[in-house]
Copies of this chain bind each other. A is one copy, B any other.
Amino acid sequence: MTEPIYDDPDFFAAYGQMPRSVHGLAGAPEWPTIRALLPDLSGKRVVDLGCGYGWFARWAIAHGATHVTAIDVSQRMLARAAELTDDPRIAYTARDLERLDLLPESFDLAYSSLALHYVSNLSGVLSVVHRALAAGSRFVFTVEHPIYTAPRSPEWQRDRSGHKFWPLDRYAVEGVRTTNWLGGNIVKYHRTLGTIVNQLIGAGFTIEHVRDWSPTPAEVAADPALSDELERPTFLLVSARR
């Protein structure tokens, strides 16, 4: 089951201070790359899995989507999302992704940002999403990269020359990872990149694009902290077609 950590008041408050919470999509460095993977949204029916504050749902409506079903397990997240808009074209929906159920061929785009690594039954979610999409439409999603989720001790280290490196281990050992983040214990599910790709293919998707996200030189110049992402990826971006 997805941990309801996002409903913990302290965690929720800390999460609210993050750049991507304050600034929305513009606070997420990987957003321009995700956006380039999205189709034209005009007239599209969209489902957003793990919508959080609803930034993407509102963006999708602003870019022509006719309707967004925006799903999250956290009541606090959905309450905050509802405060930010009462647009009737967005249906904020409380649902644990572990028990996702969607009507067949009811959407023209499925989207998910940094939510599926909280799901134990990924292949189940992928099957539901595949069935819920109209033929030819896309599932664009991000998860924490397997390199990021794998280690026993996911903390930067430095070599004698002062270069940062990431102490990778347990890459092939799939399953639960419990880490401390924003003062809360977070339960995530580590899977290899191959497993993620193969589960998509097994659900019937065709892989269109896979990106171990890293910043451009211009992005690093604008935000030097992003240079860490050149050493090891935090985000995996995938586009797949039904």
Residues of A within 8 A of B (CB): 146-147, 151-153, 157, 159, 163-173, 192-194, 197-198, 201, 206-212, 214, 229-233, 237
- A163 contacts B152, C-beta separation under 8 Å: yes
Chain B residues within an 8 Å CB radius of A212: 146, 171-172, 192-194
Given the complex, which residues of B lie within 8 Å of A146, measured CB to CB? 212
Counting every copy of the chain, the complex holds 2
Q: In the assembled complex, how far is the CB of residue A205 from the closest CB belonging to chain B, in whole angstroms?
A: 10
> Contacting A169 at CB < 8 Å: which of B151, B173, B192, B231?
B231
- A170 adjacent to B206 (CB under 8 Å): no
A210:B193 contact, CB within 8 angstroms: yes
Taking each of A157, A169, A201, which has the highest tally of chain B beta carbons within 10 Å of its own beta carbon? A169
Q: Assess whether A197 is in contact with B210, with CB atoms less than 8 Å apart.
A: yes
Residue A209 contacts which of B153, B168, B198, B231 (CB distance < 8 angstroms)?
Answer: B198
- B residues in contact with A231, CB < 8 Å: 168-172
Contact A168/B166 with A153-B159, A201-B208 known, Cβ cut-off 8 Å: yes
The answer to whether B172 and A214 touch across the interface, beta carbons within 8 angstroms, is yes
The listed residue (B165, B201, B207, B214) touching A201 by CB distance below 8 A is B207
Q: Are A210 and B194 in contact (CB under 8 A)?
A: yes
Q: Once the chains bind, are B147 and A171 in contact (CB under 8 Å)? A: yes
In whole angstroms, what is the CA distance A169 to B77 when docked?
A: 35
Q: How far is the CA of A198 from the CA of B209 in the complex (A)?
A: 6
Residue contacts A-B, CB under 8 angstroms, 19 given:
A151-B165, A152-B163, A165-B169, A166-B168, A167-B167, A168-B231, A169-B231, A169-B232, A170-B231, A171-B232, A171-B233, A172-B229, A172-B230, A192-B212, A192-B214, A194-B210, A194-B237, A201-B207, A206-B207
